[in-house]
Structure 1
Amino acid sequence: MASTEDKAANKENVSSWKDSIYNPRTGELLGRTASSWALILLFYLVFYCFLAGMFTLTMWVMLLTLDDYVPRYRDRVPHPGLVIRPNSLDIFYNKSDPVKYAEHVQNLESFLQRYNDTEQEKNEDCRQGEYFEQDNTEEMTKKVCRFKRGSLSLCSGLSDTSFGYSEGKPCVLLKMNRIIGLKPRGDPYINCTVKKDTPVQMQYFPSEGRIDKMYFPYYGKKAHENYVQPLVAVKLLLTKEEYNKVLSVECRVEGSDLRNNDERDKFLGRVTFRIKVVE
């Protein structure tokens, strides 16, 4: 008798569990009728369409406030950083083994392709010592001042395709980061020092490491599409006494109002790299 009651109870429980998913007597699915489900789905469809419309409208209004050529806010990076090429802060190599410095040479050669005469002849021969301002021009695409790699002389890779690495007197190229509208006051130039007791002889190209004002201001990636930063090449004239030693070199932008002594940012107006030449 008890067994029959238990079977009946189990059958009722199974039937109740199935009815909670779909009840054939009322036509309810998960406790709701078809019309109830239709109303809920319609509500969420309208709700999410409204959210999508609000998002689209907000983005459209925001995009109307933007300029394709000039960022709306430009006050967060008022001073440029200094960058070196080859793209490494540790330049260690054996001057007798071309394989050891081939990567650095290839990096420099690749970087200087945009400074070839064939590319730079398309640009303007600007007046030295003066800003090349083009704010009043109707053309949105700005002209670019010419900077030929030949002005880097012994570090141009034209007369010496190894950029001095084969003779143990390597070249390093320096450039400032692009900042829209920047017009440095004074006459900026690059100066490098080696942190050791006796100074290391260096050569700068262009002369005295000068950065001419004619390459400023920069008008942005879209307006100044063909713009190339002015470069300064530093040739380290290392001697045999300086081989096999790790030399720490610091280069700074001097002679202008550009900051180069911010302890919170080691790359603001300066850069430090290490070099070691093994004979």
Structure 2
Amino acid sequence: MAKDSEKKTCGQVMSEWKEFFWNPRTHELLGRTASSWGLILLFYLIFYIFLAGMFVLTMYVMLLTLDDYKPTYQDRLATPGMMIRPKGNALEISYNSEDTESWDLYVQALDNFLAPYNESQQIMNNKDCTPDTYFIQEDAGEIRNNPKRSCQFNRTMLGNCSGINDRYYGYPDGQPCVLIKLNRVIGMLPGKDDQSPYVTCGAKKEDSSLIHELTLFPKGGMFNLMYFPYYGKKAQVNYSQPLVAVKFLNVTYNADINVECKINSLAVASPTSERDKFAGRVSFKLRINKN
């Protein structure tokens, strides 16, 4: 145990700290002379300049491998994803057919989503293509065939779900329309043997008795081949994504109905995993209340 006489006073400790911070006898700052600090700072300056140079060089080399119009590497799923409009909260469409406020937001969402599909917009921006065949637009070697044209998808193709003849999309009548879209995948050719992929919809097994009748637009619920392949947002600036509309004509009121829509194609792998609920299918809940 140290003797009391060996213990340092507070003044001595402070004096030692002051001398460590700046020693007037040796001209040392924090225990180092000016030349020592200069060498350390020079070392770290060179070190970080070297790291920054390596980072810039790496980024430059990587950017040289990128294509502005097409991904250099594309690790896509064998089955593209699907989504609905309107999607509501947590993919749930729930409303009271006799309460305008409960379904008005769905109608507005569909109006906004379908605005670019108006006939005037489609005629102005897109090409009238030949149905049932891929719209291939290849580059001529190093010469880019850009911007690439897109095929017209007029909202009138959605029949009673176009919002033209029925501006409320059937919601107040208890016959709502839901739009299905297939996620864009660059270069995907989803058809096989000249067969276009098509959508099927229905209630899940436990709710199979709650949907009595539905219909799909365009006829057969097809994504026509002429809308494929997709060349990317920059190369195909006016691309109009094809849609399928499902209209529920007769469902059980005041009940939660779990609906599932799937893509069917010989060239697209069928969804097999329950972990990815949007690969080749989309599930949502439909509830139509009526007083």
- TM over 0.5, yes or no? yes
Q: Which residue of 1 aligns with 2:202?
A: 193
1:268 corresponds to which letter in structure 2? A
The answer to whether structure 1 residue 165 and structure 2 residue 167 are counterparts is: no
1:92 corresponds to which letter in structure 2? S
Q: Which residue of 2 aligns with 1:128?
A: 131
The Cα of 1:257 is off from its aligned counterpart by 2.3
Percent identity among equivalent residues?
49
1:248 corresponds to which letter in structure 2? N
Tell me which moved more, 256-265 or 126-135: 256-265
Q: Which residue of 2 aligns with 1:92?
A: 94
Contact 1:94 1:278 in 2 (8 A): yes
The Cα of 1:13 is off from its aligned counterpart by 4.4
Contact 2:138 2:145 in 1 (8 A): no
CA RMSD in angstroms, aligned pairs only = 2.0
The Cα of 1:146 is off from its aligned counterpart by 0.5
Pick from 138, 141, 146: which aligns with 1:140? 146
Whole-angstrom CA distance in 1 between matches of 2:75 and 2:13: 70
The Cα of 1:9 is off from its aligned counterpart by 6.7
Tell me which moved more, 107-116 or 252-261: 252-261
Pairs within 5 Å for 1:173-252: 173-184=179-190, 185=192, 186-195=195-204, 196-197=208-209, 199-238=211-250, 242-252=252-262
Q: Deviations over 1:2-27 (max 9, x none)?
A: xxx99997655443321111011111
Contact 1:194 1:200 in 2 (8 A): no
Pick from 116, 119, 133: which aligns with 2:118? 116
The answer to whether structure 1 residue 268 and structure 2 residue 274 are counterparts is: no
**Aligned residue pairs, count:** 273
The answer to whether structure 1 residue 80 and structure 2 residue 80 are counterparts is: yes
Whole-angstrom CA distance in 2 between matches of 1:173 and 1:7: 83
Whole-angstrom CA distance in 2 between matches of 1:40 and 1:199: 77
Pairs within 5 Å for 1:5-154: 12-88=12-88, 89-121=91-123, 122-136=125-139, 138-154=144-160
**CA distance change for structure 1 residues 257 and 111 in 2, over 3 Å: closer, same or farther?**
same
* Structure 2 residue matching 1:32: 3-state secondary structure: coil
**CA distance change for structure 1 residues 247 and 14 in 2, over 3 Å: closer, same or farther?**
closer
The Cα of 1:142 is off from its aligned counterpart by 1.0
Whole-angstrom CA distance in 2 between matches of 1:170 and 1:8: 86
Q: Deviations over 1:154-204 (max 9, x none)?
A: 101111111110111000000100111111123211111123237521121
Contact 1:187 1:256 in 2 (8 A): no
* Structure 2 residue matching 1:42: 3-state secondary structure: helix
Q: Deviations over 1:102-148 (max 9, x none)?
A: 11111111111111123211200000010000013542221110001
1:160 corresponds to which letter in structure 2? D
2:155 corresponds to which letter in structure 1? R
Stretches of structure 1 that go unaligned for 5 or more consecutive residues are none
1:191 corresponds to which letter in structure 2? T
Tell me which moved more, 79-88 or 206-215: 79-88
After TM superposition, the score normalised by the length of structure 2 is 0.88
The Cα of 1:75 is off from its aligned counterpart by 2.8
Stretches of structure 2 that go unaligned for 5 or more consecutive residues are none
Contact 2:79 2:271 in 1 (8 A): no
1:74 corresponds to which letter in structure 2? Q
